[in-house]
């Protein structure tokens, strides 16, 4: 089979098309013939070897949708031939076929499009965890979403708005701010144009601040996000695309110490969707919720680009440019 492999860390050119033996389903596994593969920021981190190392050589990837072509021992035989999405196993996906433990495999209904399933598996279920499980968003909550036009940020905007929240989007550019407003945000502030985004959020909330701020940036956005919170507000970190946050004094959450504006009794919450979706049943339930939101018109996966597998390096370069408004897929 053809696969895309990383043999050394570096830029997009380190993604090389190679021929590998077809995988064989071990006990508790199925082999999926992938049709659509989702490209995620964590794939870029694995390629670069930062902020944490991975063992090389590596076939990267975290999500794909396709058809089961082989089942291993101990697996329900009826899965053979089924359309499925698999996600969360963090390797072996940029390939024509992947051997996957069934814990990471979710069968799809006949009405589910494979490209849609691949586009929502990671970003959609992560947004579901962020807005409905780790921090339940409800009617009237004021929610700030950093990087609100990306695949996950845009999903958070849509699900929070559907839950009745007043969403404020923070983006890098005016075009992205307009895109976030189109997804349901009440306000969109572009860092290119708004010199003080904290002041902008406080103005939009009449000085109160936000009940929840979602931040996947980490180092470069942490202080800004913290200063946007209302008293008893929650900062939800779910990534570190700009790097790890510097060592932090938890006393600052009190509102008494530190250089903040005085909002206190704050909560800092680190969320990894993998800690909430720990079983096949939990993954299946999350996928079901998101696909139901798609069918109801409350959520759009916003597929921004489709590249053939052999052009995975171009897909990585496109995502790294931070100009895309949505999800990038690889077509096998």
Q: Which range among 91-95, 229-233, 318-322 shows the weakest confidence by mean pLDDT?
A: 318-322
Superfamily of domain 136-270 in CATH is NAD(P)-binding Rossmann-like Domain (3.40.50.720)
Decide if 143 contacts 214 (C-beta within 8 A): yes
pLDDT at position 53, please? 81
- What length is written for the chain? 332
What tens digit of pLDDT does each residue of 137-172 get? 999 999 999 999 999 999 999 999 999 999 999 999
Selection from 43, 35, 12, 91 nearest residue 331 by Cα:
35
Parts of the chain belonging to CATH 3.90.180.10: 2-123+276-331
How high is the mean pLDDT of the chain? Answer: 95
Structure tokens at 95: 């390939």
Q: Which range among 146-150, 202-206, 216-220, 243-247 shows the weakest confidence by mean pLDDT?
A: 243-247
pLDDT at position 154, please? 96
pTM score, two decimals? 0.94
pLDDT at position 244, please? 87
CA dist 213 and 165 (Å) reads 12
Superfamily of domain 2-123+276-331 in CATH is Medium-chain alcohol dehydrogenases, catalytic domain (3.90.180.10)
Per-residue confidence band for 216, with pLDDT thresholds at 50, 70 and 90: very high
Mean pLDDT along residues 312-318: 98
Per-residue confidence band for 248, with pLDDT thresholds at 50, 70 and 90: confident
pLDDT at position 46, please? 95
3-state secondary structure of 224: helix
CA–CA–CA angle 276, 135, 216 (5° rounding): 80
What tens digit of pLDDT does each residue of 257-278 get? 655 567 889 999 999 999 999 9
Parts of the chain belonging to CATH 3.40.50.720: 136-270
Per-residue confidence band for 241, with pLDDT thresholds at 50, 70 and 90: confident
What tens digit of pLDDT does each residue of 102-135 get? 999 999 988 889 999 999 999 999 999 999 999 9
Per-residue confidence band for 39, with pLDDT thresholds at 50, 70 and 90: very high
What tens digit of pLDDT does each residue of 59-75 get? 999 999 999 999 999 99
Mean pLDDT along residues 24-50: 96
Alpha helices in 98-150 (DSSP H): 114-120, 123-128
Alpha helices in the chain (DSSP H): 41-48, 114-120, 123-128, 151-162, 174-182, 197-204, 222-227, 280-295, 312-320
Write the CB contacts of 162 (distance below 8 Å, at least 6 apart in sequence). Answer: 184, 293, 298, 299
CB burial class (10 A; 0-12, 13-18, 19+) of residue 74?
exposed
What tens digit of pLDDT does each residue of 291-311 get? 999 999 999 999 999 999 999
**What Å distances lie between residue 165 and 67, 143, 271, CA to CA?**
38, 7, 20
Decide if 299 contacts 132 (C-beta within 8 A): no
The answer on pLDDT for 16 being more than 70 is: yes
CA dist 148 and 170 (Å) reads 6
pLDDT at position 261, please? 65
Q: How far apart are the first and last CA of the chain?
A: 11
Mean pLDDT along residues 313-325: 93
């Amino acid at each position: 089979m053809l696969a895309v492999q990383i043999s050394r860390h570096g830029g997009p050119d380190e993604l090389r098309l190679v021929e590998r033996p077809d995988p064989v389903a071990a006990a508790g596994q199925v082999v999926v013939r992938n049709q659509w593969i989702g490209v995620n920021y964590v794939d870029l981190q694995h390629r670069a070897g930062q902020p944490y190392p991975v063992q090389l050589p590596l076939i990267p990837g975290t999500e794909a949708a396709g058809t089961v072509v082989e089942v291993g021992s101990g697996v329900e035989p009826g899965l053979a031939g089924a359309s499925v999405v698999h996600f969360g196993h963090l390797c072996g996906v940029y390939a024509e076929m992947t051997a996957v433990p069934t814990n990471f495999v979710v069968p799809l209904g006949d009405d589910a499009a494979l490209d849609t399933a691949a586009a929502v598996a990671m970003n959609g279920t992560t947004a579901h965890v962020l807005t409905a499980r780790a921090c339940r968003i409800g009617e009237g909550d004021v929610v700030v979403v950093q990087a609100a036009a990306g695949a996950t940020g845009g999903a958070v905007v849509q699900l929070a708005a559907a839950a009745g929240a007043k969403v404020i989007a923070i983006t890098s550019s005016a075009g992205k701010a307009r895109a976030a407003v189109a997804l349901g945000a009440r306000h969109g502030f572009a860092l290119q144009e708004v010199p003080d985004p904290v002041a902008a959020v406080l103005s939009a909330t009449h000085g109160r601040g936000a009940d929840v701020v979602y931040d996947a940036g980490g180092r470069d956005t942490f202080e800004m996000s913290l200063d946007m919170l209302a008293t008893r507000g929650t900062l939800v970190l779910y990534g570190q695309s700009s790097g790890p946050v510097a060592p932090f004094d938890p006393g600052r959450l009190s509102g008494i110490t530190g250089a903040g504006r005085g909002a206190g009794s704050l909560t800092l919450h680190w969320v990894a969707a993998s800690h909430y979706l720990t079983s096949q049943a939990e993954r299946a339930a999350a996928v079901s919720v998101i696909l139901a939101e798609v069918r109801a018109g409350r959520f759009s996966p916003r597929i921004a680009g489709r590249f053939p597998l052999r052009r995975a390096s171009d897909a990585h370069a496109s995502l790294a440019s931070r100009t895309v408004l949505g999800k990038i897929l690889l077509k096998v």
